[in-house]
Structures are given as structure tokens and as C-alpha cells.
Amino acid sequence: GKGGYGDVYLVKKNNNYYAMKCTRKADISKDNGTDGFMAEKEILAHGKNTPYIIQLRYSFQDSVHLYYVMDFMQGGDLQNLIYKLDDKLNDGSAELKEYEANLKFYAGEIINGINAIHEFGYIHRDIKPANVLLGTDGHLKMGDFGTCLKMVEGKNKIQFRTGPGTLDYVAPEVLKNAVERNFKSYEQRVKV
């Protein structure tokens, strides 16, 4: 796969398959800083503590690249699943009830993944179907943490200098701030 900040390759070690994300160090611009890339490594390392986050197996670097070796999610991503189910979801068939139950299950797992990221002290900023990955067991895991930022300790908000993730999936008020270059902070509001 190819993303905005790196390429992902299927690799094999000792008869086990992994996904290896390769990012050029030169692509980590002064505007973006290293915050998102260090956040990605830290969140991936937390993956062993939750079933909703891709797990980091190895990380290393050379003079040109950063490498993250993660679990390979053989089921693909939620975006491709939606494309496959699109006709069936729109035809009003009897199978629709079954798909609705599955979608509710997936929505619950996505919420658990977002919650896990917040519990690690981060905000994702690029949640979209392509970043929700499927295992062969039918469970979802969140991926692609390159735009995540760490929350300010004890304040449940983040300070930022860069724009949000994929603009097609950004809330209107966040997009407006990005266009106006009005980067200040996001806050996580918690209902009690």
C-alpha cells in the first residue's frame, strides 16, 4: 500500500507474515515535526495491551527510512468491505438485517479502538474506513497513527501546528480552522 507519508509492504520472517511501514525521514517536514511519527510508534507499542490496535512487532531505522513492522491484517480494511457490501446494503434484501448486526458490531469495535487511543493519551485525527483493518477472525483493529498527537497532560486536549488527517473525513469546524490556519487546540469533552 501507499500512503501520504510512507509505503507498506508485506514481509515474511520465520514463516510469519507482517506489514512493514517504511517512511522516508526526509518526508518528516519541519511543519509536521516528529510528533506524529513518535506518537505512531508509541501507540503501536501499546497495541499489545488492547485487541483494538495494530501491534508493533519490531521497529528500526537506517540513514534514510524509519521502519515499523506490525501485525498483518489479512482481511483488508473497512473501506474495501463497504465497497463489497454496497450493492447488498442498498438493495433492501433480507440479508440487510444480517449486515446491520455486523455493522453494529464493527461500530462498537471502532469505538473501543478510539477509546483505547484516548486512554493512551492520544487523539487519532485521521479516522476513516481505510484506517480500520480487518483480521481473518472478523475483528477490527485501528491503524495508521501518523497524524496522532499526544494530549496535554491532565487537560484532555492537544496543541497542534499541523492540519488534520484526510480532509474528506474531517469535521467541518476542524476543516474551517485548517483552511484559516487557525491551529490552536482540540479538546476531548467527556460527559459525566
Q: Is the dihedral of CA 94, 98, 101, 102 positive or negative?
A: negative
Q: Is 7 a catalytic residue?
A: no
Burial class (CB in 10 A: 0-12, 13-18, 19+), 186: buried
Rounded distance between C-alpha atoms, residue 164 and residue 146, angstroms: 11
Q: Tell me the C-alpha distance between 1 and 19, whole Å.
A: 10
Distance CA 31, CA 41 (A): 19
| One-character DSSP codes across 5-46 | S-EEEEEEETTEEEEEEEEEGGGS-TTTTTHHHHHHHHHHHH
Which residue is catalytic, options 126, 137, 144, 168?
Answer: 126
β-pair type (149-150, 122-123): antiparallel
Catalytic residues: 126
